[in-house]
Structure 1
Amino acid sequence: MGYRFLSECTDDLEKHDHLVRVDEEVDPNLEMAEIHRRVYASGGPAMLFTNVKGCRFPMVSNLFGTLERARFIFRDTFENVQRAIQLKVAPEAALKNPLKYWKAPFIAWQMQPRKARRGAVMKNSISLPELPQLKCWPDDGGAFVTLPQVYSEDVRSPGLMKSNMGMYRVQLSGNDYDPQSQVGLHYQIHRGIGVQHQAAIDAGKPFRVNVFVGGNPAMTVAAVMPLPEGMSELTFAGALAGHRIPMVNIGECSSIYANADFVISGMVDPERQMPEGPFGDHLGYYSLTHEFPVLNVDKVWHRDGAIWPFTVVGRPPQEDTVFGELIHELTAPVIPTVLPGVRGVNAVDASGVHPLLLAIGSERYVPWQKTSAPQELLTQANAILGQGQMSLAKYLWIIDEKCDPDLNIDDIESFFVRMLERVDWQRDLHFQTRTTIDTLDYSGSGMNSGSKLVVAAVGDAIRKLPTESPTDLQLPPGFSDPQVCIPGVLAVRAPTFEPEDGKARTDPHLRRFCKSFLARDSICNFPLILLVDDSPFVAATLNNFLWATFTRSNPATDVDGIAAWTEHRHWGCDGSLVIDARVKPFHAPPLIEDPAITKRIDAMAARGGVLSKWL
């Protein structure tokens, strides 16, 4: 439905049994987040917390907790947006089936944000400490806004159509922030707001940022939508909301979303950064304290009947997984037009999204010859790594579609099996060193710094993948407990990572393991070997394998091989590829619930009540 306000959405969800009210007092300090995580994991409803400890505003979470509910929210517009995207991909479709696409002109009109003279959100003014103070993990640095729509305009060419809106982390309290006038803005590498911030610095002009919270859920989805640089997220939001987004101009380079529930407005200090974090993030670890921009807040507004929406992130899957699924449904048809020859790309949620990309490409360069080595696949891999936030990936595995025409990019185990049946470690490994990776990834050589590995596979299978550990396997001293993760992948418990000088990013155990074997040894029947701290854990589920392997390794330092060699600066190995996926001292700590909070929520479940079946 074309909701104008968030309250219309929550009323609609409640009417159709997608939302429950929680009238028992709940503390936004850790309790609310633990309830959210449990209800999400159980496939439960959205939750409207009406009795928030220490706060007069109700809070709602898990709005997008299931794909079914997300589709329900956008049931009147989602299909139209899909068709609009299809028209962009294939304009001739409208000529072939005009009745199917007759709404396209109306959608184009809805994509134009409209100027409004006033907005309901500007009805009431409050101070920063009066906002809900949500803390999700025990070691978070303070309270955070977890579903912000951070809006800015380009000072060189102000206006709604050149605006940027993203979901950049906002720290409301803690650290050294003045609780009455400062919040932290955590925007990472390769985000649109950074381009606008740089433009403001270059122009010597003040940089105003407005943080919207609430309003139509389409604004939330638009804030995470990977749109091309220079295209306003307001256009996508209008199409998904089913109406033009109303914006109130409050001065040069600044507008307010009229139907938001809350707005935090201020100026970014061009000369100052402040410590922001830690924050339990979507890789399943804390992102640590670093210097980030600070927003000097001069106004906080809210509408009558305002509701504060929030989510909780952590090791995937979490609610933000559904955002990814929605985006994939919308953008999948566009990929071949942006990346010629690429049939599909999967930013693997279980690995934290950015660490691992899977892709299906196509070899078309020399169709009269049997493909014997990746060629066009490498061109496509470079194109993928040159696209927006996909450029932050550490590992890209890409396979020729002719290897299995029926291969589903979302069937991750089958994808790895097809790859490992064909990959040639002497030929198919392509490294990029000293490059950029995700800000939240601590496996690299420094903040935003690390390496990349492209693995490309073509042709017929060259091996049969084993599914049981070799009976004659003799592991070197200190290594034990081999476990099969998926066909062809063996996890081995390794000694604790111990850098020789206390600072190095490698230790001798990886090289010692690789030198203990020859390429003809039975262990090399497994093309991929993982060195880990807990092999039963890593092998227990596909998600454990993906999470531990690709969040805890940096290709340039943590990839080695049995019978490895270098020729003309190309690295390869004659035996198994070995990835060191142990926890290192410089990694960020993993997210763990507070035991006292866990007990309190257990007690809440035992008392019964509206949430007991999901807790």
Structure 2
Amino acid sequence: MGYVNLSECLRELEATRRLVRLREPVDANIEAGVIQRRAYRKGGPAILFENVKGCTFPMVGNLFGTSERIRYIFRDTLRSLEALMSLKADPAALLKKPLRFSGVPLALLHTMPKTVSTGPIMARTTRLSELPQLRSWPMDGGAYVTLPQVYTEDPDAPGYARSNLGMYRVQLSGETFAPDREVGLHYQIHRGIGPHHAAAIRRGERLPVNVFVGGPPAMTLAAVMPLPEGMPEIFFAGVLGGRRVRMVRPEGGLPVLAEADFCIQGYIEPHAVKPEGPFGDHLGYYSLAHDFPVMTVTRVLHRENAVWPFTTVGRPPQEDTVFGEFIHDLTGALVPTVFSGVREVHAVDAAGVHPLLLAVGSERYVPYAAERQPQELLTSACALLGTTQTSLSKYVIIAAAEDSGLLSAHKIPHFLAHVLERIDLSRDLHFLTRTTMDTLDYSGISLNQGSKVIIAAAGAPRRELSSELPRDFALPEPFGEARVFSAGIVIVQGPPHGAGRDRHDPRLQSLAKALGETSGMEGLPLVVVCDDAAFTAADWDNFLWVTFTRSDPATDIYGGKSFTHCKHWGCAGPLVIDARLKTYHAPPLDPDPVVEARVDALAAPGGALHGVID
């Protein structure tokens, strides 16, 4: 059976040397986050911060920091859950291997939450200001809950069946919020709480909200699962946790997670918003202050000996990367059942997840054609952009499995080389402009608005990729050095960006024109312009992060010998992506050198965390 609560999990992790205690005083303001990120980077244990400055509650970080540890935490239920997922992907497997699915019926019995009269969470109350005031990065606008489980129910149909459990950013303090009375609730587009909030606004009612922190680890993971609308995450938590989730339902109020460590109770008035942010986010930049719903807090509950779990985010990979890998392992087999014709998808973590989606699909529409071209692939790409979390993708690059038996979206260098060998740049780029995009992505034309591009490739190779610049290669002023990063890909040092938002840069247009007139570029179909060529070319992680987080397809893609024909854009020369930081982008995350030095001392020989963090 899975863990009843967080304390039970922490005791087990400590007994198996997967958790260490830190008794040194630690500041929740920046310092705890630095330690957590370094522990993750080293592949270290979970860390229990017993002495948090100015706070009576201990904190635990890096709880889910390794794939081994997350699988250990859910070891009792993982086999049944994997069997359930594979059965969903292939129902006929039940007849072929019935013993493999023997645990599925019991797992399904755990889906419905169990209502109880009371629970440990009802033991005590506190105030927002007495909670750990975690700030992860120097420019963060206040303290944040970083592993919240935000629970709401549908105002039109209250109850578990249409509930939503999501991990939405919760700002505990800041200049705009009334102390101990208000918190910011930042939820992005395409999130399950949205329909509940919309229904409450339509009815002219407050939306009740409970924010759980801690409790059974299965609830934390359920809150980040990308489940379809109408499939309650709390049901999934029961299966993953190996027991029915125990909920206390006060008369006339939302149910409370009985085994939670903390619960922040409150409501959102129909049109109540206040500026929330800034916050150092998982794309590696700050999301800036914008109006988001404000939650009025009525009560803060906590259990005896409560522990505050936290994480921090930043440029990937971070601890949330482990969540993504775990979810992919669970659900990867379901992809063909959700998206017909799609065999594999990879939301690239190094590029911030939503900016870049790689996919392997089928191309079977016209199998008898003399020359194969993307057709079914385009249908599949549109499906990916039409539902679930893949709809937030900005660059969708899709290739046909039939062209290579070794093609995998998770082998990125090989995948991109495969695409660049085959793509027809005059035909195979398809833009969606003035559309919705990820709230955290500042490369577009406004908050939540930008563009997307589908890049599809099918058929035999069209070109042999080159690993060298042409002999007479030259760049127009004011562009600097150029280097081949990988076969077919050139990185160019560009001048600082100076154009306005939603505007092409004339200097990039001139560069694209010059490249289109340069002989010998046939084997170099992709050119990326950046602020720091050496940094961008240092490794694949840097290349992916810079290229896809700092560009908006419609604004920042140029082409040699480009043309527009009947509203279709293409080019005969190389594709040029402007991946410089723009004047309107949010700033990247930079560490606090004073705090970093304090943590260096903890990591040094003789320090309390020597050998635990780097």
- Structure 1 length-normalised TM: 0.98
SS of alignment partner, residue 220 of structure 2: helix
Q: Which residue of 1 aligns with 2:172?
A: 172
SS of alignment partner, residue 110 of structure 1: coil
CA distance in 2, matches of 1:540, 1:69: 30
CA distance in 2, matches of 1:359, 1:216: 34
Q: Are 1:121 and 1:261, in contact at CA under 8 Å, matched by a contact in 2?
A: yes
Q: Cα 1:253–1:433, aligned 2, differ >3 Å: closer, same or farther?
A: farther
Q: Which residue of 2 aligns with 1:447?
A: 447
2:526 is aligned with 1:528:
yes
Deviation digits for residues 227-252 of structure 1 (CA, Å, limit 9, x no counterpart): 01011101111111010111111244
CA distance in 2, matches of 1:487, 1:19: 44
Deviation digits for residues 512-548 of structure 1 (CA, Å, limit 9, x no counterpart): 1012233562234211001111111111110111100
Q: Which residue of 1 aligns with 2:579?
A: 581
The one of 493, 514, 537 aligned to 2:535? 537
SS of alignment partner, residue 266 of structure 2: strand
SS of alignment partner, residue 255 of structure 2: strand
SS of alignment partner, residue 291 of structure 1: strand
CA distance in 2, matches of 1:505, 1:594: 34
Query: How far apart are 1:368 and its partner, in Å?
Result: 2.8
Deviation digits for residues 213-271 of structure 1 (CA, Å, limit 9, x no counterpart): 00111111100000010111011111110101111112446111111110000011223
Query: How far apart are 1:603 and its partner, in Å?
Result: 2.1
- Unpaired segments of 5 or more residues in structure 1? none
CA distance in 2, matches of 1:312, 1:587: 21
CA distance in 2, matches of 1:53, 1:161: 41
CA distance in 1, matches of 2:261, 2:371: 57
Worse-matched range after superposition: 574-583 or 601-610: 601-610
SS of alignment partner, residue 99 of structure 1: helix
Q: Which residue of 2 aligns with 1:71?
A: 71
Query: How far apart are 1:112 and its partner, in Å?
Result: 1.5
Q: Which residue of 2 aligns with 1:191?
A: 191
2:360 is aligned with 1:360:
yes
Q: Are 1:495 and 1:509, in contact at CA under 8 Å, matched by a contact in 2?
A: no
CA distance in 2, matches of 1:108, 1:287: 39
Counterparts of 1:367-382 in structure 2 under 5 Å? Answer: 367-382=367-382
Q: Which residue of 1 aligns with 2:602?
A: 604
For 1:450, give the aligned amino acid.
G
Worse-matched range after superposition: 146-155 or 247-256: 247-256
Counterparts of 1:149-160 in structure 2 under 5 Å? Answer: 149-160=149-160
CA RMSD of aligned residues (A): 1.2
- Structure 2 length-normalised TM: 0.98
Q: Are 1:269 and 1:295, in contact at CA under 8 Å, matched by a contact in 2?
A: yes
CA distance in 1, matches of 2:7, 2:100: 32
Q: Which residue of 2 aligns with 1:206?
A: 206
CA distance in 2, matches of 1:331, 1:579: 33
2:472 is aligned with 1:472:
yes
CA distance in 1, matches of 2:53, 2:253: 37
Query: How far apart are 1:311 and its partner, in Å?
Result: 0.3
CA distance in 2, matches of 1:420, 1:260: 50
SS of alignment partner, residue 480 of structure 1: coil
Counterparts of 1:368-407 in structure 2 under 5 Å? Answer: 368-407=368-407
2:117 is aligned with 1:117:
yes
CA distance in 2, matches of 1:435, 1:524: 32
Worse-matched range after superposition: 26-35 or 600-609: 600-609
Q: Are 1:211 and 1:264, in contact at CA under 8 Å, matched by a contact in 2?
A: yes
For 1:571, give the aligned amino acid.
W
Q: Are 1:153 and 1:253, in contact at CA under 8 Å, matched by a contact in 2?
A: no
Q: Cα 1:519–1:81, aligned 2, differ >3 Å: closer, same or farther?
A: farther
Q: Which residue of 2 aligns with 1:554?
A: 552
Q: Are 1:479 and 1:492, in contact at CA under 8 Å, matched by a contact in 2?
A: yes
Q: Which residue of 2 aligns with 1:422?
A: 422
For 2:244, give the aligned amino acid.
R
Q: Which residue of 2 aligns with 1:53?
A: 53
Q: Which residue of 2 aligns with 1:494?
A: 494
Deviation digits for residues 421-467 of structure 1 (CA, Å, limit 9, x no counterpart): 11110110000100000000110000100001000000111111122
Deviation digits for residues 258-294 of structure 1 (CA, Å, limit 9, x no counterpart): 1111000001122320110000000000000000101
For 2:582, give the aligned amino acid.
K
Count how many residue pairs are aligned between Structure 1 and Structure 2: 613
CA distance in 1, matches of 2:474, 2:486: 21
CA distance in 1, matches of 2:57, 2:484: 50
CA distance in 2, matches of 1:445, 1:562: 24
Query: How far apart are 1:604 and its partner, in Å?
Result: 2.3
For 1:604, give the aligned amino acid.
L
CA distance in 1, matches of 2:404, 2:175: 53
Query: How far apart are 1:370 and its partner, in Å?
Result: 4.3
Worse-matched range after superposition: 462-471 or 350-359: 462-471
Q: Which residue of 2 aligns with 1:568?
A: 566
For 1:575, give the aligned amino acid.
G
CA distance in 1, matches of 2:515, 2:372: 28
Q: Which residue of 2 aligns with 1:96?
A: 96
